[in-house]
Amino acid sequence: MTGAPSLKRYHAGWHRAARQVAQRMLLRPVVRSVTKTTVEGLDNLEGLSRPFVVVANHTSHLDTAVLVTGLPRRITEHLAVGAAADYFYSRWWTKAATSLFFNTYPIHRTSGGKRSRKGLSQRLVAEDVPVLIFPEGTRSRDGQMRPFKPGAAALCVARNVPCVPVALLGTHEAMPVGRSWPAPGRPRVRMLVGRPMRPRPGEKPRDFNDRVAARVRTMLEMQTPYVLADTPVAGAFDGGAQGPADRAAPGRVTGTDNKQEEAS
């Protein structure tokens, strides 16, 4: 691809090491000091290997910080985060900061984006770099989940990779659009990590997108990462023999092994 940006940074050991220091030693203490954050459903990630696509509802600039500091290091170590090019790549210092803390890559939300910048998600996943995408495309202004755009689902279908659905609760109340810092009082935030889903054989991107959106919406409504799944597919993450998460009743949150307690 002539003129395409290099992806060397996303494989560079020095950048990965610097990012881990920034996320685990700087960002995580800040997130835990300004919010009461808990993470549930991490057992759903057992056996997950690269590449994969993480998707989540989006209501706050706090969302990405909660995700990269709450997910296990083996999940975030190589994770690249899709960021709106018109917002985060318009100034050199925001580009540098988001690159260091979140390993971002630009996503153009309008048709005016450079052609060479298109397809970065595809290229990253093709090189075994997992990505985080917010399928709504922008933050919700009222905290309600908006329809998912099919880009993330299309990526999963095209590359036949699993999608990790995540539901974020409380981030809108903690830091809604218009605030540059979380509200005082350490508001409660919950991150619910669902069981990875795979496209079914022959499934169209829009149909898979509808299933993923429905899973995130169900986790939000039931406030649990353990929900009754749709029809499983044998041998895939979203099917095969039932595991503990599949057998869990709706609304059930299992023991402390599945929950990351809030920082004291």
Q: How far apart are CA 261 and CA 131, in angstroms?
A: 26
Q: What is the pLDDT of residue 3?
A: 59
Q: pLDDT (tens digit, 9 = 90+) per residue, 187-227?
A: 999 999 999 999 999 999 999 999 999 999 999 999 999 98
Q: pLDDT (tens digit, 9 = 90+) per residue, 70-91?
A: 999 999 999 999 998 887 787 8
Which of the four CATH numbers 3.40.1130.10, 3.20.20.70, 3.90.1150.10, 1.10.150.20 does domain 8-247 have? 3.40.1130.10
Q: pLDDT (tens digit, 9 = 90+) per residue, 107-163?
A: 886 654 444 344 899 999 999 999 999 999 999 999 999 999 999 999 999 999 999
Q: What is the pLDDT of residue 229?
A: 60
Type and span of the H or E element at 31: helix 28-34
Q: What is the pLDDT of residue 32?
A: 96
Q: Which residues, including other chains, have CB under 8 Å from residue 91's CB and lie 6 or more apart?
A: none
| pLDDT mean over 25-30 | 97
**Burial of 202 from C-beta contacts in 10 A (0-12 / 13-18 / 19+):** exposed
CB atoms within 10 A of CB 228: 10
- Is 177 within 8 Å of 60 (Cβ atoms)? yes
Ranges of each domain in the chain: 8-247
Q: Please list the helix, strand and coil fractions of the chain in percent, rounded to the nearest 5, in that order.
A: 40, 15, 45
pTM summary value: 0.84
What is the average pLDDT value for the chain, to the nearest integer?
A: 86
